[in-house]
A and B are shown apart, each in its own frame.
Chain A
């Protein structure tokens, strides 16, 4: 009798586990931090409103094959992207970014300049990884957009 009860309990636990695994609770929105950076060889940024880049971003920048020595953060935006949906936010007066969740760690990232889509990319971005988008800026400077997944 005792063995029957134990066996039933184990069996029911197994069934519950399978049911729970098959019906996982709704996952929270993905949180993506988007930073607009200014790259330059000057020691200080001409814009007093710029802030120093975050240490983790600075560390990653040093590993990239970029020629600039100094980077400054122009704006910092956190986007909350619902699962399977997209979210859009401006990162400057001219530019915006749209991020669409494609499931698991995959994102579709679209850049808009003057309301025109100029770039679209599908990228896997797990927590801890960073995506840098960049290009030349006037003078000998550069612009960079950094995407960091927070959740």
Chain B
């Protein structure tokens, strides 16, 4: 007998087969001696197990046992103390953590944003007494202010041609 057939035989013994299959199994048992021997063995095993089991008796009945558990649960729920009136310290403590976190975050933002270090501060144009100059500025941060004074001026001395 293959494994599936053995399982079917066990189900037949336990009365778990549908009626049609049970009839087929009965016919099979009539033809197959191996199946009959196996069925007898399974019956003996079942009887041995049922007969050899030692009886166990609860000190109390099942309903009484579960009602005791239920009462214990109710008792523990009633014995939990009601939440105490929140103290002032507890209230402050609840506020302290978020306020501190906000303060630290504020500092980080202030440090990162900070006073502007940009070099884009407005440059006022030359406030010179002689407004003959032009300004050139490039991307590298270089500014050139060219004064259109004649060569003979207070800054460049004509004498020697190379003395400033």
On A, residues with C-beta under 8 Å from B are 3-4, 6-8, 10-11, 13-15, 17-18, 21, 36, 38, 45-47, 60, 63-66, 74, 92, 94-95, 104-106, 111, 113-114, 116-126, 128-139, 141, 143
Contacts of B50 in A (CB 8 A): none
CB contacts (< 8 Å) of B144 on chain A: these are 64-66, 132-134
Q: Chain B interface: which size bin? A: 35 or more
Q: Is the interface of B mostly helix, strand, loop or mixed?
A: loop
Q: A64-B136, A104-B116 are in contact. Are A143 and B156 (CB under 8 A)?
A: yes
Tell me which of B6-14, B54-62, B70-78, B100-108 binds A: B100-108
A114–B145 contact, CB under 8 A?
Answer: no
Q: Answer whether A104 and B156 are a contact pair too, CB < 8 Å, given A7-B93, A10-B97.
A: no
- Given contacts A3-B97, A14-B100, A120-B126, is CB(A137)–CB(B119) below 8 Å? no
Q: Are B149's CB and A136's CB within 8 A? A: yes
A135 touches B147 (CB 8 A): yes
Residue in B104, B150, B163 whose Cβ sees the most chain A Cβ within 10 Å: B163
